[in-house]
Structure 1
Amino acid sequence: MPVMHFHVRWPDASETRCYSPSSVVRDFLAPGERYALQDFLQRARGALGAASERVRAKYGFACSQAMDQLAEIEHIAAGFADKADAEVTVLALD
């Protein structure tokens, strides 16, 4: 199962390198795309949830790193929740 990283730019121009245990993230996010904050969160939840389930199917247990990454994303996103026009840009998938 190929590990992947996705790099995002938050509304304040800060950047985060995010971890996924699976390339399934490509089904949810595209490099160069900007997503409304809530759309990005929904996509990140879907991507990391699916990635964790792929780990479960292969190894018999969910991926705690994927869930930790999702928690970090949600924590950062909470800081922008009051900005109606907040967008997150996916810079790269690697």
Structure 2
Amino acid sequence: MPVMHFRIQWPDGDEANCYSPSLVISDFFTPGEAYPLDDFVARSQQALGIASERVREKYGFACSAALDQLAQIERDAARFRDRPDATVKVIAFS
């Protein structure tokens, strides 16, 4: 399965490298675009859920790395919940 990494920038300027076991991320995000925090989290939940299910279909088990990445995104996003204008920028895919 092709792996994809995507680099993001949180509202405070911190950057993070994220992992997906599938190219499905490119169906949900566009490099250079900023997404409202809640939208970014929702898209991440959808995309990484699909990616994990693709692994399940191929190998018979969910992708724990995709689920771990989603949990990390959700934890990091929680820091900015009190900022109604918070956005997350998708910097690049690799």
TM-score (norm: length of structure 1): 0.99
Structure 1 runs of 4+ aligned residues shifted over 2 Å read: none
Counterpart Cα distance in 2 of 1:62 and 1:30: 25
* Match in the other structure for 2:4: 4
* Match in the other structure for 2:73: 73
Percent sequence identity is 62
TM-score (norm: length of structure 2): 0.99
* Match in the other structure for 1:40: 40
Unaligned runs of 5+ in 2: none
Q: How many residues align?
A: 94
2:26 is aligned with 1:23: no
Superposition deviation, residue 79 in structure 1: 0.1
Aligned letter for 1:43? Answer: R
Q: CA offsets per residue over residues 22-81 of structure 1, 9 Å max, x none?
A: 001111111001000000001000110000000000000000000000000000000000
* Match in the other structure for 1:49: 49
Counterpart Cα distance in 2 of 1:36 and 1:73: 14
Unaligned runs of 5+ in 1: none
Counterpart Cα distance in 2 of 1:92 and 1:46: 19
Q: Helix, strand or coil for the counterpart of 1:16?
A: strand
Computed over aligned residues only, the root mean square deviation of the Cα atoms, in angstroms, reads 0.4
Aligned letter for 1:40? Answer: F
